[in-house]
Amino acid sequence: MVFDQALFYAFAAFTVSGSLLVIVQKNPVYSIVSLILAFFGLAGLYVLLQAPFVAVVQIIVYAGAILVLFLFVVMLLNVPREDAAEWDRAHPLYRPGPMRVGALLAVLLIGELAWALFKTPGLTGATGAGTTGISDVGQLGRVLFTDYMFAFEVTSILIIVAMLGAVLLARRPGE
């Protein structure tokens, strides 16, 4: 059981550092590669949560499809590096007054979240201790195609609309 915790902390550190790298890199290509690494850490966490199918889908769909799409666009556009310097100085939100209000609100939010977490009962035991782990893809499919049938069908419409919209938006005008 100690082994589980060690794995959790390893994957969590991997995911958090990958996500942090995403937002500190100046070059979008490095950001995307860091995000792919973070998603591999998340896939490991899903395996720890007895959800291997979600882990595999995470790698195939997210790391394999969505982020490769991002990479393609970045390389297609030959994206310039960020030029934040002169804009940041001039923005009204960077004045001391608004910054103090924002910092206060952030601290307040963290305090509220910590309070809610510590006041909630039943969080200290092992996750899902009283239940049997569900790693059965058959059961997953059965629930998806019975209880969530309507949502599933609506999702297909969403994907068609998104695809048409993307093609329409990315087309050069006049073609």
Partner 1 sequence: MVPLSHFLVLSGVLFTIGTAGVFLRRNVITLLLSIEIMLNAVNLAFVAFGRQFGTVDGQIITFFVMTVAAAEAAVGLALVIGLFRHRESLNPEAFTSLKW
Question: What part of residues 32-71 is at the interface with partner 1 (CB under 8 A)?
Answer: 32, 35, 38-39, 42, 45-46, 48-51, 53-54, 57-58, 61-62, 65-67, 69-70
| Contacts (Cβ under 8 Å, ≥6 apart) of 7 | 44, 48
Tokens of 168: 């329409």
Closest distance to partner 1 from the beta carbon of 95 (Å): 16
Q: Does 131 bind partner 1 (CB under 8 A)?
A: yes
Contact (Cβ atoms closer than 8 angstroms) between residue 158 and residue 150 = no
Q: Of 96 and 129, which has the nearer Cβ to partner 1?
A: 129
Minimum CB separation from partner 1 for residue 144, in Å? 5
Sign of CA pseudo-dihedral 120, 124, 126, 132: negative
Q: State which residue, 16 or 108, has the beta carbon closest to partner 1.
A: 16
Structure tokens at 78: 């030959």
Contact 11, 44 (CB under 8 A): yes
User: Which CB, 96 or 110, lies closer to partner 1?
Assistant: 110
Instruction: Kindly tell me which residue out of 119, 124, 174, 175 binds partner 1, with binding defined by CB under 8 A.
Output: 124
Q: How far is the CB of 29 from partner 1 (least distance, A)?
A: 10
* Distance separating alpha carbons of residues 155 and 145, to the nearest angstrom: 12
The one among 99, 101, 111, 127 contacting partner 1 by CB under 8 A: 127
The footprint of partner 1 on residues 87-106 (CB under 8 A) is 87-88
Is residue 155 part of the contact set for partner 1 (CB under 8 A)? Answer: yes
Q: Which is nearer to partner 1, 101 or 155 (CB)?
A: 155
Residue closest to 13 by CA, chosen among 2, 25, 5 = 5
The two tokens of residue 159 are 């994907």
Q: At closest approach, how far in Å is the CB of 46 from partner 1?
A: 6
Give the HSE-up count for residue 140: Cα atoms under 13 Å, Cβ half-sphere. Answer: 10
